[in-house]
Amino acid sequence: MKIVYTDVLIIGGGLAGLRVATGVKERGHDAVILSLVPPKRSHSAAAQGGMQASLANSKMGEGDNEDVHFGDTIRGSDWGADQEVARMFVHCAPKAIRELAAWGVPWSRVQKGDRTAIINAQKVIISEKDDAHGLITARDFGGTKKWRTCYTSDGTGHSMLYAMDNKAHQDKVEIHERMEAISLITDEGRCYGAVARNLMTGELVAYVGKATTVATGGYGRIYSVSTNAIICQGIGQAIALETGIATLGNMEAIQFHPTAIVPVGILTTEGCRGDGGLLLDKDGYRFMPDYEPDKKELASRDVVSRRMTEHIRKGKGVKSRYGDHLWLDITILGREHIEKNLREVKEICENFLGIDPAVSWIPVRPTQHYSMGGIRTKYTGESQTLKGLYSCGEAACWDMHGFNRLGGNSVSETVVAGMLVAEYISDFCDSPESSMHIHSSKIEMALKYERDKLEALLTKQNGEDAYVLRRRMEEIMMDKVGIFRNGKDLQEAVSELEELLKRSKNIEVFRSKSRAANPALVNAYRTQKMLKVALTVAYGALLREESRGAHSREDFPARDDENWLKRTITSWPDENQTMPSVSYEQIPVGNMELPPGFRGYGADMTKHHHETKMRLATVEAVQEKLQKEGATRFEIQNALMPYLDKLPKKYRNINERLGENI
């Protein structure tokens, strides 16, 4: 029986997990990372287009600051986000990106003087300021008022992840590769670590620590086609759910990215459209301006994905044996630009489609991309209900994205949340309440429990085939819990998923009986977990009778703040349940800095909350009064919704910007 003790156990070696690890190390705590793969192979590496931070260095970013980034993020979330968390995030994003610059990320820089760019299909000359030369530059992304997305060509996630992992090497963070956490160890309402399975040898190891952090990314692979890496299966959310204590938030909030290639679903970055690429239909017609005359191709992701789907439904899609698709045209950007700033896209087109995107259009359609939902946490990253359990990055519902995440805000969240949560965890570990009271027999029981479950899978006879169940689940999610949703389909999805979950208790691992490296065994236990996650998504979607952000109900097309300005909270208190328990957490209007309004896409059908009008009047009155008194933007912000006291002291300072006098 192997037990490894540490201070902070981190499950997941992507950007968020690595940043937590280096942060707690700096504060003097030991950290162990468990990772399915070498950290440099994590899904963070696939983030292409960039990281949002309001540096305002480039010409088209002039005037940008935390306030503008905040407004974009909240509107993007369709007011589902936690505004205090979003404030903490936008305030720390510039610090995080500068830190990464110091750690080696070769961010693309501002080149002073004139350059040509494509905006709205026109060639435009942009003159960059002399004093911005050599600072970090930014490109345009959807749903943002300023060019704010900082990048390294279109390999941003790769460069960030490599810098972060190298930093972890430097800090001597212990990383246990190919170790999969298969359950969390809890005792008397406290999390004490995890039982992990070595994917090479099959050995089960208990990792015990004062604090446990789940940073395992999203759950896109419950869908049959997803841009996500194949390891993004929601196992982190599932093991949290299986504690019966931790809760998940807004699991139904699933983002579809407008431009994944057909049929394999590999992403082409939003940077394609940010840099001037267009969406065309079967006639080569640019249709987005008809739907969204203002933002066109650069409307928020959820909006573009819906408009594309609508257009395909009108018969304007390009027919293919893999279903209808549309075209992404980046030929107008020119070869030089593509080979410099969109080279991953070029490689993907060459290798998977056999085309050269400098001369040919790219076949694309909206595809599952991001999980806004996840382990529900406080602003500290700690579970609201399970002490000692933390989560950050895509795995968590922190909740800065609400019902739709802006492009460029995800990698940004990973490092910002990572650096903040590392501080809160360190505070916890420094406090007497972190001392551990778990008896070793409890740890042994947790190990035995998992060993018995695996043994049952291997010895079961005449059972179910995990692949059959999993493929069916993926199809259901794809067909019935997709971009447009309706009550009938969702009800069918929930009923059938519940049936699949019941059947999954009877899974048998056919043929391959090895207890060591055994992909069949892995698929068996993951399928059981994924079905629970899928149910939280489908059931949450069925119950939410409104449309908000990426959750779009054809039978309830309006955003309904009066009844639905709240988060869906799911849990699984009894392991014999076949459906998740659901409750709701109100999102109070009364302390919002940016009261709910109209996002500016399509017709405004919002059913407003009865407090919205009053809050709006209060906010406007405060702004007007303070502006008259000559207050700074910081003072006005603080009067509306103070948040700085929530931040660790070291991150409270004002961010310097070119041309901003503070």
Catalytic residues: 257, 273
Q: Rounded to 10 degrees, what is the CA torsion of 75, 376, 382, 38?
A: -90
Nearer to another protein, 20 or 229 (CB): 229
Strands 566-571 and 248-249: antiparallel
What are the tokens at 633?
Answer: 């933007």
Minimum CB separation of residue 224 from another protein in Å reads: 13
Q: What is the spatial distance between Cα 186 and Cα 630, in angstroms, rounded to a whole number?
A: 53
Closest approach, Cβ 109 to another protein, in A, equals 4
Left (φ > 0), alpha (ψ -120 to 50) or beta: where does 447 sit?
alpha
User: Which helix H or strand E contains 526, and what residues bound it?
Assistant: helix 519-543
> By the 8 A CB rule, do 18 and 164 touch?
yes
Minimum CB–partner distance for residue 520 and another protein (Å): 4
Measured from the CB atom, is 94 or 595 closer to another protein? 94
Task: Specify whether the CB–CB gap between 475 and 500 falls below 8 A.
Answer: no
Cβ 106 to another protein, closest distance in Å?
4
Distance of CA 212 to the CA centre of its chain: 20
Closest CA to 446 of 242, 194, 198, 240: 194
Cα 468 → chain centroid: 28
End-to-end CA distance of the chain: 59
Of 53 and 326, CB closest to another protein: 53
At residue 326, the 3 state secondary structure works out as: strand
Show Cβ contacts of residue 429 under 8 Å, excluding neighbours closer than 6 positions. Answer: 7, 8, 24, 27, 29, 210, 211
Place of tokens 């992404």: 328
Q: How far is the CB of 600 from another protein (least distance, A)?
A: 33
Closest CB to another protein among residues 130, 188: 130
Tokens standing for 301?
Answer: 């992701």
In the complex, minimum distance from the CB of residue 134 to another protein, in angstroms, rounded to a whole number: 3
Residues 542, 254 contacting (CB under 8 angstroms): no
The angle formed by the CA atoms of residues 297, 537 and 262, to the nearest 5 degrees, is 40
Calculate the alpha carbon distances from 456 to 331, 468, 506, 508, 525 in Å. 56, 19, 9, 8, 11
Peptide bond into 263 cis (omega under 30): yes
DSSP three-state, residue 447 = helix
Nearer to another protein, 177 or 496 (CB): 177
Q: Residue 630, Cβ neighbours under 10 Å: how many?
A: 7
C-beta closer to another protein: residue 339 or 554? 339
Which one, 152 or 212, has the nearer CB to another protein? 152
Cβ closer to another protein: 136 or 326?
136
Q: How far is the CB of 205 from another protein (least distance, A)?
A: 16
Q: How far is the CB of 239 from another protein (least distance, A)?
A: 20
Rounded CA gap, 222 and 533, in Å? 8
Q: How far apart are CA 59 and CA 146, in angstroms?
A: 10
* Shortest distance (Å) from residue 309 CB to another protein: 23
Q: Please identify which residue in the block is written with the tokens 């949560």.
A: 421
Distance CA 382, CA 424 (A): 9
C-beta closer to another protein: residue 336 or 574: 336
What's at 535, amino acid-wise?
Answer: L
Q: What is the closest distance, in whole angstroms, from the C-beta atom of residue 45 to another protein in the complex?
A: 5
Q: Classify strands 248-249 and 254-261 as parallel, antiparallel or unpaired.
A: unpaired
Q: Which is nearer to another protein, 286 or 343 (CB)?
A: 343
Please report which residue ranges of 298-439 form alpha helices under DSSP H: 301-311, 335-341, 343-348, 409-430
Cα distance between residue 500 and residue 467, in whole Å: 12
Nearer Cβ to another protein (153/216): 153
Query: Is 424 exposed, middle or buried (CB count within 10 Å of its CB: 0-12, 13-18, 19+)?
Result: buried
Identity (one letter) of the amino acid at 92? C
C-alpha–C-alpha distance, residues 556 and 282, integer Å: 30
User: Rounded to the nearest whole angstrom, what is the least distance from the CB of residue 513 to another protein in the complex?
Assistant: 9
